[in-house]
């Protein structure tokens, strides 16, 4: 087995000088792992003119920040980012590298893992530590969310995982700021995929931070979703839904909740016309109060909710909206 | 143009049964099918071929029964089907699978494009496509929604965090397509019957120049250490009242939780 330096790395994503929420959460998870293994936590951040981002990272628990700057890294590009991270990892030999399960993390992590000739686990819902063996136990849903598996990489280093956004809460933990400046060797000719045009369509939504999430399933139907949007509006919440709801186009794909969608942890989660498939349920396990409405009293969703109502979605929502409006108008 | 499409046979995960005592998945009892997302990959490959001409080869790594998945791919319209099967491959993780599929692609070369689904329904890693590209040192385009080939260039619309982008790469390249890329066609009765008569080519480890030590459980960096059922933390209290009353109760509950009453 390759000797590792022992550092635990977190790959940090940022935009317009701000660290992404997913990365802040990952820093918290990384801190846990590093502490569990009695190792240092290092944040790895790539870009150009991003010194301010490095300073911010020390506030979120990094013992060390690798500030990898190069004009070619100004924008994310998979080939160059992979080279910069892999080269640094080959030199420093970290024990663990964590990425967020964002679009970027999901294509970068496997590429880095392959280049470093090590294993990786995708879409982890949790990381646990086996300190005696120096291993990170990577917990993920498998077989369509029907079971959880614990994956380890016993004989290869680094241990690499992507972690789903929404499964940890960012913490503020001041550390002494140690910035290590790195200038990678990069060449434009290494770019194999050229971006012709970027179309930013979705504003960053606040699904992971929302206090209330109103989510619908196939049983809500198009009409139900009209009422779901109305309810979310009244409660100042965000809408979400199951995979069929996204397939039908009732919600944008980015608002699919579950294992292959987003993980949310609102104070209140309201589920309307969803059966309660485990793939979906893993998406709101961390929620506070879960209220479920389904017309089938035997629907599995009731095993994952605190309060259940056996009713037709449309009828129930109309009544609920009326009740809430009555109260809110009376104020 | 020669397009290689990677196809995996997976258990139908909607019907997974788990042994209550051991937590083991009862794999034997599961119906098998083509990984749903790979149907999108097959569809994308077929459309490209129909536009610019050429052939589509479906490749699968798996046990002998994975032949059925390849038959289905043939029924959908792929020209050739290749099965990589060897007992030593059992237990291969994504790292090894991508190595084997990359070797197979080299064996089937020349090719212009390798198309994979973005992820499989059982392991759900989303790793294999990316790692095939890395293994072969080819351009990688992930999360593809639209795909076009013009001359020596592949152009794709792909999903990124917060939107879309249009990218270009020189062929040969590797792309992974999402569920939203297209609606896979259904095979016709006639194409199914025809597919049964056509041969499926086979490749062994030896054909690919791989040793048993490099693959399977032995060659895989990752190990599944434990399989368990996610615990159920809640059990709902059912409000069995007429809709209006239930709605009133829920409304109060929500307002209380939000600190508004
Ligand atoms: C690999 C994989 C990953 C997946 N990832 C996800 C994921 O991330 N997120 C996700 O959501 N799914 C995911 N799925 C799909 C998941 O398995 C389920 O198919 C899906 O969650 C079911 O959605 P649903 O509950 O909306 O639909 P259904 O299962 O069709 O349930 C509809 C429910 O609505 C009820 N209903 C119908 N009409 C009414 C009415 N008028 N009033 C009240 N109730 C009504 C029915 O009783 C039923 O319980 C994944 C599947 C796989 C294989």
Tell whether ligand 1 has an atom less than 6 A from the beta carbon of residue A256.
Answer: yes
Angle at A141 between CA A139 and CA A147, to 5 degrees: 110
Query: Which helix (H) or strand (E) covers residue A27, if one does?
Result: helix A21-36
- What is the interface pTM, i.e. ipTM, of the complex? 0.93
Q: Determine the pLDDT at residue A268.
A: 97
Average pLDDT over residues B91-110: 97
Q: Determine the pLDDT at residue A145.
A: 63
Distance from CA of B238 to the nearest CA of A (A): 5
Ligand 1 center to B233 CA (angstroms): 20
Q: Determine the pLDDT at residue A199.
A: 87
What pTM was computed for the model? 0.93
Distance from CA of B53 to the nearest CA of A (A): 24
Q: Which residues of chain A have pLDDT under 70?
A: 1-5, 144-146, 331
| Residue pLDDT, tens place only, A135-192 | 999 999 887 666 789 999 999 999 999 999 999 999 888 877 789 999 999 999 999 9
Inter-chain Cβ pairs, chain A and chain B, closer than 8 A:
251
Instruction: Flag whether pLDDT at B231 surpasses 90.
Output: no
List, edge to edge, every strand of the sheet that includes A135-142: A126-130, A135-142, A147-152, B223-228
Ligand 1 center to A279 CA (angstroms): 9
Q: Determine the pLDDT at residue B12.
A: 79
Tell whether ligand 1 has an atom less than 6 A from the beta carbon of residue A248.
Answer: no
Q: What is the DSSP string of A31-57?
A: HHHHHHTT--EEEEEEESS-HHHHHHH
Contact B214, B77 (CB under 8 A): no
List, edge to edge, every strand of the sheet that includes B113-117: A193-200, B163-170, B153-160, B140-150, B173-177, B113-117, B2-6, B55-61, B80-84, B201-203
Q: Determine the pLDDT at residue A212.
A: 97
């Amino acid at each position: 087995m390759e000797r590792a330096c022992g550092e635990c790395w977190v790959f940090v994503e940022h935009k317009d000088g701000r660290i992404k929420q997913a990365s802040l959460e990952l820093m918290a998870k990384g801190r846990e792992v590093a502490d569990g293994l009695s190792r240092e936590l290092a944040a790895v951040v790539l870009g150009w003119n991003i010194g301010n981002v490095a300073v911010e990272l020390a506030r979120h628990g990094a013992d060390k920040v690798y500030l990898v700057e190069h004009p070619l890294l100004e924008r994310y590009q998979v080939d160059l980012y992979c080279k910069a991270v892999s080269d640094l990892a080959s030199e420093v030999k970290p024990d663990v590298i964590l990425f967020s399960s964002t679009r970027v993390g999901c294509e970068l992590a496997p590429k880095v893992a392959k280049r470093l000739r090590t294993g990786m686990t995708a879409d982890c819902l949790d990381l646990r530590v086996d300190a005696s063996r120096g291993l990170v136990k990577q917990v993920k849903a498998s077989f369509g969310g029907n079971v959880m598996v614990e994956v380890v990489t016993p004989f290869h280093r680094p241990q690499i995982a992507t972690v789903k956004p929404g499964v940890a809460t960012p913490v503020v933990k001041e550390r002494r700021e140690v910035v290590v400046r790195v200038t990678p060797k990069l060449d434009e000719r290494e770019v194999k995929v050229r971006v012709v045009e970027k179309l930013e369509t979705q504003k960053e939504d606040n699904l992971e931070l929302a206090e209330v999430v109103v989510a619908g399933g196939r049983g809500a139907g198009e009409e139900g979703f009209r009422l779901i949007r109305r309810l979310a509006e009244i409660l100042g919440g965000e809408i979400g839904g199951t995979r069929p709801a996204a397939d039908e186009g009732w919600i944008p794909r980015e608002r699919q909740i579950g294992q292959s969608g987003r993980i949310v942890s609102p104070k209140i989660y309201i589920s309307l016309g969803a059966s309660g498939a485990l793939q979906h349920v893993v998406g709101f396990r961390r929620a506070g109060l879960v209220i479920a409405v389904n017309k089938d009293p035997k629907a599995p969703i009731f095993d994952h909710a605190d309060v259940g109502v056996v009713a037709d979605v449309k009828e129930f929502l109309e009544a609920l909206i009326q009740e809430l409006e009555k109260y809110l108008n009376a104020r | 143009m020669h397009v290689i499409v990677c196809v995996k046979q997976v258990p139908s995960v909607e019907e997974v049964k788990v042994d209550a005592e051991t937590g083991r998945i009862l794999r034997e009892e599961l119906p098998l099918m083509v990984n749903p997302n790979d149907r999108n990959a097959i569809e994308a490959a077929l459309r490209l071929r129909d536009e610019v001409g050429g052939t589509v080869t479906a490749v699968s790594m798996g046990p002998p029964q994975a032949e059925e998945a390849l038959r289905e791919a043939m029924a959908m319209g792929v020209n050739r089907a290749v099965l990589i099967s060897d007992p030593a491959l059992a237990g291969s993780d994504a790292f090894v699978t991508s190595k084997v599929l990359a070797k197979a692609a080299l064996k089937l070369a020349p090719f212009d494009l390798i198309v994979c689904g973005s992820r499989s329904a059982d392991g759900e890693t989303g790793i294999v496509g990316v790692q095939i590209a890395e293994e072969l040192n080819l351009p990688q385009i992930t999360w593809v929604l639209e795909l076009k080939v013009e001359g020596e260039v592949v152009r794709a619309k792909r999903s990124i965090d917060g939107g879309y982008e249009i990218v270009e790469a020189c062929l040969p390249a590797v792309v992974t397509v999402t569920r939203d890329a297209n609606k896979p066609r259904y095979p016709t009765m006639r194409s199914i019957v025809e597919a049964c008569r056509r041969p499926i080519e086979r490749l062994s480890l030896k054909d690919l120049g791989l040793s048993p030590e490099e693959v399977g459980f032995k060659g895989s960096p990752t190990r599944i250490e434990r399989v368990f059922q996610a615990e159920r933390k809640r059990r709902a209290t059912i409000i069995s009242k007429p809709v209006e009353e239930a709605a009133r109760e829920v409304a109060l509950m929500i307002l209380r939780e939000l600190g508004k009453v």
